[in-house]
Structure 1
Amino acid sequence: MTGVAETGAPPAPPARKALGPDGVVPLAVLERSGLIESRHSGAAVLTRPDGTLALELGDGDADVWGRSSLKPFQALAALRAGAPLDGEELVLATASHAGTPAHIAVVERVLDAAGAVADDLQCPHDWPLDRRAMLDAHAAGHGTRRIAMNCSGKHAAFLLACRVNGFSTGDYLDRQHPMQLLVAETIADYTGQIPDRVGVDGCGAPVFATGLTALARGIGRIAGARERGDDPLAATLAGAILDHPWAIDGPGRSNTVVIDRLGVIAKLGAEGVLVVGMPDGTGFAMKMLDGNLRATTTVALDILAAHGLVDPDESAAVAAETAERVLGGGQPVGGIRSVALAG
């Protein structure tokens, strides 16, 4: 390892302004019985395979917390640290998983490789996101567990990287820990932007602020690594995600359906963040200002289809399948519609 992980974090640049009301545009509406009931505004960016800007809606340079959309970079940092991850284990390092028995079994394999147990994870106790898994866990008397928390695969990967390098494990979430310094370095290397703010994510790990343009560029670099052939670690990560889409989210869940049906890399983040990477290296990133995730996939697929990057009919079917249903008396009475390119 070089750079940040060995020499300490680089001097933080002056903080960029945070994304706010002056930096967003209308992106989606929810209609009920012919009337627009709710509106979602945000910012969205599309970058070309060479990293240049192809589309900017709103302010693509303003700071956002990447939240779980940073997980591909965190997983890549674990690979760069020498963690022996591949296949499903690597995807769980990237995942916001649903906590099904299959997900938990993979996390347990990573913990075994790290010589660790579930109690060594420092993510919070939680219920599985998958409803059936949650009900089964409750019926089995498990209660909330660290390993069921959607970020447990990432934390297990951190522990494995620490074991390989002889790093301390009790403080692996400290922002000055070698593992977290390598995460910051990896984000800077792939996005081309040094994070100017460091906070605490919901799982307790450091979370880094960047602009959406930087996020789009970074996910594009990872997704396009196999086609470029110049980055074996990123190519391994991209290939694993495409080969095991169930592991990054869960059966029937948004990211899994998008990856499986469209052959792209997609990763949601809390508070309305989504990144998508195309096999040719095109990158996309967006943030809903109100933090609501329900329209993010619909907007992303609308933009990608309009630019000829995904099949429009298949992407429309995926959007319809993954979007929140608008019901009245149990029957459809409306829907969510992208207006990102309406004007």
Structure 2
Amino acid sequence: MKDHAPPHASQARRGPLERGRSTTSPPWPDAPVLAEVWRSGFLESVHRGALVVVGPDGEVRWSAGDVDRPVLPRSANKPVQATTYLAAGWRPRSGEELAVAAGSHTGEDGHRDLAATVLAAAGLGPEALGCPPALPGHEPTRAAWLVAGREPERLAMNCSGKHAAMLAACVAAGWPTQGYLARDHPLQQAIEARLAAAAGEPVAAVVVDGCGAPQHGLSLTGLARGTGSLVAAPAGSPERAVADAVREHPWYVAGTGREDTDLMTAVPGLLVKGGADGVHVAALPGRGAVAFKLDDGGDRGRAPVLAAGLRLLGVDAGALSRWTVTPVTGGDGVVGEVRAAAVLLG
């Protein structure tokens, strides 16, 4: 792999909501183009961001953009978070339960049933969940619910597996289940400490995530380092238990047709976890980890950038061909593609 020094951050681009008031977020840097959108030979759009590759030792091997600036990893934090539930005394009865605890499922029947099983084993029901009600993310399941007039449910929310495991960990540790999402709750304090330890840096910010739980800001380097530590951990450790469960049961981590599910099925040993707003992290034993964020928070450039990052990790390009480019359509056909930018291709 080649070394690539991140460009110097520019002055903040201040919008009307920022002017005249303080902010805890650092200035937004000028970032390199990571993905390009080509339509009929015309460069229509670009997606900027930052990407880092760390080795098995956690040291930076390659980077583009400001990879030390704190970001919100969102659900990409979940695999490291899940080690906290085990440390608190939760004993999942299957690898599937541990996988859904670290996942962002699509609300399919098996996802909701398993989250309910985790709760029932702890003597709790869906009413204990602090995540908001939602419709399933899986389109066929969602369509069936809409046709049937079925209301949103907490179990269908993509983070219900995480919340069920949080509650089960509270029961196991003897902590109160009421208020389990408060930052000063013992569980959330343990999660914050665990994320910082795995990343090798202090948590930069704590905000409210989409599911209502605390969300912890880390640099992309810290995110990659923490996730990489899971696949490098010794057998029998909580870290390795999470890594093994996620890789062995990827459907419970994401769902049918999701890139995390399909990538972990296609590439042996790979751990992949996406997060909202353009964040993704992946790790491979003996190779290290890659993490990136697309500045616009969108999904369109995600797959090609992830594939390019995995190639930087040493994953064979043939195994990634499905994700290397994604089609741009026009009329009844494909007229272009979304692809990784030259900075990622060497």
Shared fold (TM-score, shorter chain, > 0.5):
yes
Q: 2:57 corresponds to which residue? A: 50
Out of 23, 33, 40, which is 1:26 matched to? 33
Partner deviation per Cα, 1:111-152 (whole Å, 9 max, x = no partner): 111211111111011111100110122233321111100000
1:264-296 CA deviation, whole Å, 9 max, x = no partner? 111111110001011226011101111112222
The 1:111/1:140 distance shift into structure 2, 3 A limit, reads farther
- The whole-number CA distance in structure 2 between the counterparts of 1:194 and 1:268 is 22
Query: Unpaired segments of 5 or more residues in structure 1?
Result: 1-14
Residue 193 (structure 1) aligns with: 201
- 1:218-233 to 2 correspondence within 5 Å? 218-225=226-233, 229=234, 232-233=237-238
Instruction: Specify the alignment match of 2:266 in structure 1.
Output: 261
Q: Please give the residue correspondences for 1:128-147 in structure 2 after superposition, counting only pairs within 5 Å.
A: 128-147=136-155
Q: Does 1:59 align with 2:29?
A: no
Kindly state the Cα deviation for residue 300 of structure 1 after the two structures are TM-superposed: 2.1
Q: Secondary structure at the match of 1:132?
A: helix
Equivalence for 1:209: 217
Once structures 1 and 2 are overlaid, which stretch shifts more, 179-188 or 134-143? 134-143
Mark the CA change 1:19 to 1:223 in structure 2 (over 3 Å): closer, same or farther. farther
Cα distance in structure 1, aligned partners of 2:248 and 2:52: 26
Shift of 1:342: 4.8
Distance (whole Å) between structure 1 residues aligned to residue 186 and residue 117 of structure 2 = 23
Matched, 1:336 2:341: no
RMSD, aligned CA: 1.7
2:329 to 327, 330, 333: 327
Aligned counterpart for 2:47 among listed residues 40, 56, 65: 40
Deviation of the 1:17 alpha carbon? 5.7
Per the alignment, in what secondary structure is the counterpart of residue 280 of structure 1? coil
Amino acid at match of 1:80: A
Contact 1:286 1:296 (C-alpha < 8 Å) held by counterparts: no
1:19 positional shift: 6.3
Compared CA separation, residues 146 and 201, structure 1 to 2 (3 A): same
* SS of structure 2 residue aligned to 1:326: strand
Percent identity over paired residues: 38
8 A contact 2:324–2:339 mirrored in 1: no
- 2:314 is aligned with 1:312: no
Q: What is the CA deviation profile of residues 176-199 of structure 1, one whole-angstrom value per residue up to 9, with x for unaligned ones?
A: 001101111110111111102110
Which whole-Å CA distance do the structure 1 matches of 2:213 and 2:174 have between them? Answer: 20
* Cα separation, 1, equivalents of 2:26 and 2:104: 25
Cα distance change on mapping 1:185 and 1:127 into 2, 3 Å: same
Corresponding residue SS for 2:123: coil
For 2:257 and 2:27, how far apart are their aligned partners in 1?
A: 31
CA distance in 1, matches of 2:214, 2:283: 23
Aligned pairs, number: 321
Does the 8 Å CA contact 1:65/1:210 hold for their aligned counterparts? yes
Worse overlay, 61-70 or 280-289: 280-289
Taking the aligned partners of 1:125 and 1:316, their CA distance within structure 2 comes to: 37
Selected match of 1:252 from 251, 257, 273: 257
Residue 280 of structure 1 corresponds to 286
Structure 2: how far apart are the matches of 1:133 and 1:179? 33
Map 1:94-113 onto structure 2 (within 5 A).
94-113=102-121
Secondary structure at the residue paired with 2:217? strand
Name the CA distance, whole Å, in 2 between partners of 1:231 and 1:187. Answer: 20
Which of 292, 296, 300 is 1:290 aligned to? Answer: 296
Residue in structure 2 matched with residue 5 of structure 1 by the alignment: none
Q: Is the 8 A contact 1:246 1:256 kept in 2?
A: yes
Quote the offset at 1:174 in angstroms: 0.1
Residue matched to 2:243: 238
Q: TM-score, normalised by structure 2?
A: 0.89
Q: Does 1:300 align with 2:300?
A: no
Query: How far apart, in 2, do the equivalents of 1:113 and 1:224 lie?
Result: 30
Q: Secondary structure at the match of 1:341?
A: helix
Q: How much has 1:306 moved relative to structure 2?
A: 3.9
* Partner residue in 2 for 1:11: none
- Structure 2 distance, partners of 1:281, 1:154, is 28
Change (3 A) 1:49 1:252: same
* Contact 1:261-1:318 within 8 A present in 2 as well: no
List per-residue Cα deviations over 1:220-267 (Å, max 9, x = no partner). Answer: 001222xxx266111111111111111111121111011111131111
